[in-house]
Amino acid sequence: MIMQALMDKIRETPSRYIISVLIILFILLPFLTPYTALASEMLIFALFAMAYDIVLGYSGMLSFGHAAFFGLGAYGTGIMLVHLKAPLFIAMVVGVTLSFIAAWPVGYLSIRRRGIYFAMVTLAFAQMLYFIAFKWTALTGGDDGLQRIPRPSIGPIAIESELSLYYFILIFVVASMLLGLRIVNSPFGKTLQAMRENENRARSIGFNIFRFKLFAFVISALFSGLAGCFYALLLNYVPLGSMHWATSGEVVMMTIVGGMGTLFGPMLGAIAVVLLRDIIGSYTESWNLIMGILFMAAVLSFRRGILGSLRERLQGS
Amino acid sequence: MSQYLITQLLNGLIVGSLYILLSMGLTIIFGMLGIVNFAHGALYMLGAYAAYTVVGVLSGNFLIAILVVPLAIGLIGALLETTLLRRLYRVEPFYNLLLTFGLMLVIQDAVRIGYGPEGEPFNIPGALLGAVNLGITYYPKYRLFIFAITVLCSVGLILFLERTKVGAIIRAGTEDSDMVDALGIDIGKVFTFVFGIGAALAGLAGVLAAPIQNVEPAMGMNFLVETFVVVVIGGMGSIIGSIIAGLIIGETLTIGVLIWPPMATTLIYIFMAFILLIRPRGLFGRAEFLD
Amino acid sequence: MGRKFLTTTLIIIGLAVLWVPPVAAEEPVRVAILTDMSGPYAGICASNVDAVKMAIEDFGGMLLGNKIEFYYRDHHCKPDIANERAKELYERERVDIIIDVPNSAAGLAVSEQARLHKRLFISVGSGTTEHSGSKCNRYTFDWAYNDYMLATSVGLWGADNLGKKWYTITADYAWGHDLFKNFTAALKKKGGILLGNDNVALGTADFTPYLLKAKRAKPEVLVLLNAGKDANNATKQAVEFGLKKEMKIIHALIFVPSIRAVGPEVYADDYVAGAWYWKVDTPGAREFADRWLKKFGHRPNWMNPANYSATLQYLRAVKRAGTKDPKAVIKQLEDHTFGDLFANPGYIRPEDHMQVGKAYIFRAKRPEEIKEKDDCFEIVGTIPPEQAYMDPKKTGCRMGGF
């Protein structure tokens, strides 16, 4: 009986209820995971994957360079906290702003191309940024990474403990989810989806495809940067690998597994991948093999991902 | 002075040779099937391991390895195409890219589990040891052998595509696969064949590399992204492009590290971005690929 | 709908409460090893898990009235995974100590987590001098070796015995640069000259441009500051281009698995430093090596007894302290001299928490010299700890309180 009601609800206006369920899940997540830091990691990558879906699922652009924005957010925040001993709020603003600023030229140049060429250009730019992070050891710690990032309090809010950090991140993630929902349901968002479906028709109607894609790209980079900020706080450290194209590959994986084009599916994908990686990593060394197989299975059968398949199955019946 | 420079230039030629073999395979796969094969590096690695298995484990000789291994890797490629990649032709091309990405993880880890992570010994075959007197300088015999095989393969591939009936079908299929299908030719078989050839070339590169590099599960990763760069610069789908760009990249990496060490590898990424932005079809590619 | 929702929520919270593990009456000692079991150094480091387990068994398996609990985790040599695993181990599994962690960036990350969680960390695998230098902290110990020891011992010996004109090829990242700094300092001390250096990106497969440059410079010694597959590639190609006929080669770090991977012909007559070898005359070493051979079919590499020793000395320190409270145990470890199958004597310096001992200089044997399995090295020299390790007053470590 409860299942029936649940199915009906998912079939109706999906997003409003899914967001409520997700928020409840997120509130309880620290108590459902083996250790709180894992829950925070899930939340961070959920945000990153949601941001990425704006570019992949909603705008149809396969970016292989998003790790750069994630990394810029992480390094920006970390550098402010470690080298300049800035207050937390300012450090976060700087991190997000760095990603935002970088997204404009990268997007401007990359979006001129489509499909695989777009992916290659983003990869090239991301590798250049990676190289800068690698070489500028005084600022970034180079290969060692940025060490000893503190967790200062914002006024009365202390985030030293893992649990308090988690709920601090959650506030921003929920805000981002609501914002993200607003964006994709807005005329801007609807136009993006129309463009993804049939670019020529959209162009013939008179829409400036380039500008729409660029805005989507920049918005996505902004949220990715925000996720990066929290990553720096969670680890007390920024690894160089956060800017590597393998991290870009990971977020693509999470988005596909969760269901691209659903905005919140990728969040579930991120939770699943982070959890699986932790569980599999604890018990076996063959986790690349298992992740690879799962990913291939996801690509082959779940092309629509967990959430998308669920929706398809329910709408079809 | 000049002896030193000549030797370095020759080195660039040999590095370029491996890139040529790898990118010729990658470029015909992309040209014909539209797949960006992320598993290409893994196929290269399989070639090296297969060579080790033939020579080290089964006590065969190197000549047998060169003949048999590319065939074997080609068959593996054909198998992968028919069982896995074929299913995603109807959807957007980047799904196959992602599928091959997953495949790369699986193949690499499987080899690591099976053979161990450290690597396997593989030495230059006795008959090819030593150096050859080229007048200006001495140069390792084996490396010249790599160059010779690469030249043979490139010429062979070009002749095959230009002069034979099957080659004509492949060229036609690259331009317009629906038309070829409509003419009654089983395009599916052609796809499989082309992927097999691409894989075979990667496998051959692996066999040739085994004596001069550490044979280990991640050895393909060093070459993968650079091979993409070669293909993009040369032009996706163009054999000539692969050859020219392969040589350019080989020399850039080799000479580049001598002139400006810190930037050598990043230089080629900048080059790739430049090409993509100014002339995305690459040096010899066709404009249709820009969709 | 409202009431159903409320009930479901309460049930979920109720279930969540059950996740909280019960508080035990008397807490057992929990030992964890975090190492590379499937990444680039797995060939050398994965076996450290067995070494730690063996140490626990040899100790007797029991401590302070409880069975010693043992955990192992894989960090694939990645610092971010190491960071997560350290948190998981300290928070969820509530381990008292983490051992090993190869890869310097990973080691530094875990060191910070140890400091934040106020638990112990004994770094064995990561070689960075920062553990006992500017990034030292009261909860971290550095065992068996560091980059200074590797570089200085074979550097000093090499300058005396092999030649004073050097050329270096350095892996272009933090570890490589750290080694370069220490090697050149050793060279300078002996009045040698550095003819040139090349920084090479990690994962480079083709070293020939650099090797040719080196050949042109005509050094007496070529120093390869890299490890693993980079060292394998570089050395293989050095042989190919005939460099070995004109100069000697010193490596930063070579283990038997690398020699197995490319074949002893490749590394023949090369030199490297190490902290132990299965044929040293340290009491207990040979028995350990024989036991290892029997159990695993090959001899141990020196990381294995190093991890064994770290574990054993920790357990003994807990026993001496009579409690597993980190502060008490740390005080027992500091300024402690010990003898075990790895180091005899070994000493833990209180100023920088560095475990110091003798360093050995090895020459890799030619294939025809290898008479028994894994007997790939010949010991050609030893360096006493006072020379092999930096003066503790100069390390830059300001060891704080708890």
Q: What is the pLDDT of residues C93-127, one digit of tens each?
A: 999 999 999 998 899 999 999 999 999 999 999 98
**Rg of the Cα trace of chain B?**
19
Which residue in B142, B216, B261 is closest to C229 by CB distance? Answer: B216
Chain A environment of C108 (Cβ under 8 Å):
144-145, 147
CB contact under 8 A, B222 and C212: no
Report the pLDDT averaged over residues B95-113.
90
- For residue A39, the model assigns a pLDDT of 94
Q: CB B240: neighbour CB atoms within 10 A?
A: 16
Q: Which A-chain residues 178-207 have CB contacts (< 8 A) with chain B?
A: none
- Cα–Cα distance for residue pair B176/C14, rounded to 1 Å: 63
Report the pLDDT averaged over residues C128-135.
91
Cα angle B169-B175-B178, degrees, rounded to a multiple of 5: 80
Q: From residue C262, how far is each of B52, B146, C365 by CA, in Å?
A: 12, 20, 14
Chain B environment of A300 (Cβ under 8 Å):
84, 87-88, 99
List the subunits that have 3+ CB pairs under 8 angstroms with A: B, C
Nearest residue in chain B measured CA to CA from A115: B94
- Nearest CA to B198 out of B20, B108, B47, B74 is that of B74
Chain A environment of C92 (Cβ under 8 Å):
34-35
In a domain, C400, yes or no: no
Same structural domain, C365 and C351: no
pTM for the model:
0.83
List the subunits that have 3+ CB pairs under 8 angstroms with C: A, B
Same structural domain, C108 and C254: no
3-state class (DSSP) for residue C100? strand
Residue type present at position A4: Q
Cα angle C392-C396-C400, degrees, rounded to a multiple of 5: 90
Q: Which residues pair with C166 in a beta bridge?
A: C194, C221
Return the half-sphere exposure (C-beta side, CA atoms, 13 A cut-off) of residue C197.
16
Confidence of residue A317 (pLDDT cuts 50, 70, 90): very low
The least confident of A16-20, C170-174, C275-279 is: A16-20
- For residue C310, the model assigns a pLDDT of 96
Q: Contact A93/A155 with Cβ under 8 angstroms?
A: no
In a domain, C184, yes or no: yes
Q: Which A-chain residues 86-145 have CB contacts (< 8 A) with chain C?
A: 134, 137, 142-145
Q: CB B94: neighbour CB atoms within 10 A?
A: 25
- For residue C14, the model assigns a pLDDT of 53
Report the pLDDT averaged over residues A22-40.
91
Same structural domain, C97 and C245: no
Same structural domain, C203 and C331: no
- Cα–Cα distance for residue pair A193/A41, rounded to 1 Å: 30
Q: CB B56: neighbour CB atoms within 10 A?
A: 18
Range of the domain at C78: 30-145+282-357
Confidence of residue C319 (pLDDT cuts 50, 70, 90): very high
CB contact under 8 A, C212 and B7: yes
Nearest residue in chain C measured CA to CA from A237: C109
**A209-235 and C79-87 are packed helices; what angle lies between their axes, rounded to 10 degrees?**
50
- Cα–Cα distance for residue pair C180/A112, rounded to 1 Å: 44
Look-up of token digits 């939770």? A271
Name residues whose C-beta falls within 8 Å of residue A16's C-beta, 6 or more positions apart in sequence: none
- Cα–Cα distance for residue pair A230/A224, rounded to 1 Å: 10
Same structural domain, C217 and C250: yes
For chain A, how many residues are written?
317
Share of chain C above pLDDT 70, in %: 94
Q: B62 vs chain A: nearest CA distance in angstroms? A: 31
Name residues whose C-beta falls within 8 Å of residue A89's C-beta, 6 or more positions apart in sequence: A154
CB contact under 8 A, A24 and C9: yes
Nearest residue in chain C measured CA to CA from A232: C80
What's the CA dihedral at A164, A166, A171, A174 to 10 degrees? -160
Same structural domain, C101 and C193: no
Q: Which B-chain residues 198-237 have CB contacts (< 8 A) with chain A?
A: 225, 228, 232, 236
Same structural domain, C152 and C176: yes
- For residue B43, the model assigns a pLDDT of 97
CB contact under 8 A, A119 and B94: yes
- Nearest CA to C132 out of C333, C349, C354, C334 is that of C354
B289 alpha-carbon distance from chain centroid: 20
- Nearest CA to C278 out of C203, C341, C190 is that of C341
Chain B environment of C260 (Cβ under 8 Å):
118, 121
Q: Does B264 touch chain C (CB under 8 A)?
A: yes
Which residue in A109, A127, A289 is closest to B113 by CB distance? Answer: A289
Cα angle A59-A63-A66, degrees, rounded to a multiple of 5: 115
Q: CB C92: neighbour CB atoms within 10 A?
A: 15
CB contact under 8 A, A292 and B102: yes
- Cα–Cα distance for residue pair C107/C128, rounded to 1 Å: 8
Q: What are phi and psi for residue B282, nearest 5 degrees?
A: 80, -170
The least confident of A106-115, B147-156, B171-180, C9-18 is: C9-18
- For residue A178, the model assigns a pLDDT of 92
Same structural domain, C82 and C229: no
Looking only at the bridges linking them, the beta strands covering C193-200 and C221-225 are unpaired
3-state class (DSSP) for residue C280? coil
- For residue C118, the model assigns a pLDDT of 94
The conformation of residue C300, written as its DSSP 8-state character, comes to: P
Same structural domain, C154 and C260: yes
DSSP-H helix ranges across chain A: 2-11, 14-32, 36-56, 67-83, 88-110, 115-135, 137-140, 162-185, 187-197, 199-205, 209-235, 245-258, 265-283, 287-301, 305-316
- Cα–Cα distance for residue pair A229/C182, rounded to 1 Å: 36
The first and second tokens of residue B34, run together, are 């539209």
Chain C environment of B253 (Cβ under 8 Å):
206
Q: Contact B35/B96 with Cβ under 8 angstroms?
A: yes
CB contact under 8 A, C84 and A235: yes
**Rg of the Cα trace of chain A?**
19
Report the pLDDT averaged over residues C324-344.
94
- Cα–Cα distance for residue pair A253/A259, rounded to 1 Å: 10
The conformation of residue C360, written as its DSSP 8-state character, comes to: E
- Cα–Cα distance for residue pair B19/C53, rounded to 1 Å: 46
- Cα–Cα distance for residue pair B189/B158, rounded to 1 Å: 20
Q: Does A312 touch chain C (CB under 8 A)?
A: no
Return the half-sphere exposure (C-beta side, CA atoms, 13 A cut-off) of residue C380.
20
Q: B131 vs chain C: nearest CA distance in angstroms? A: 9
CB contact under 8 A, B116 and C204: no
Confidence of residue B291 (pLDDT cuts 50, 70, 90): very low
Nearest residue in chain C measured CA to CA from B265: C201
Same structural domain, C117 and C195: no
Same structural domain, C161 and C308: no
Chain B environment of A113 (Cβ under 8 Å):
276-277, 280, 290
- pLDDT at residue C25 tops 70: no
In a domain, C7, yes or no: no
Q: From residue C173, how far is each of A142, B215, C38, C109, C252 by CA, in Å?
A: 8, 23, 21, 17, 14
Same structural domain, C130 and C266: no
Q: Does B119 touch chain C (CB under 8 A)?
A: yes
CB contact under 8 A, B109 and A114: no
Chain C environment of B267 (Cβ under 8 Å):
none
In a domain, C34, yes or no: yes
In a domain, C321, yes or no: yes
- Domain spans in chain A, listed from the N-terminal domain onward: 31-244
Q: Contact A269/A254 with Cβ under 8 angstroms?
A: yes
CATH number of the domain where residue C169 is located: 3.40.50.2300
Confidence of residue A299 (pLDDT cuts 50, 70, 90): confident
Chain C environment of A67 (Cβ under 8 Å):
none
Nearest residue in chain B measured CA to CA from A255: B98
Q: Does A236 touch chain C (CB under 8 A)?
A: yes
Q: Does C38 touch chain A (CB under 8 A)?
A: yes
- pLDDT at residue A105 tops 50: yes
Q: Contact C77/C102 with Cβ under 8 angstroms?
A: yes
C136 alpha-carbon distance from chain centroid: 16
Q: Which A-chain residues 251-290 have CB contacts (< 8 A) with chain C?
A: 278, 281-282, 285-288
Beta strands across the sheet bearing C97-100:
C69-74, C30-35, C97-100, C120-123, C140-142
Look-up of token digits 């640069």? C177
Q: For C8-26, give one letter per residue: b (16+ CB within 10 A) or e.
A: eeeebeeeeeeeeeeeeee
Q: pLDDT digit string (tens) for A191-246?
A: 888 887 777 777 777 778 899 999 999 999 999 999 999 999 999 999 998 998 88
Residue type present at position C166: W
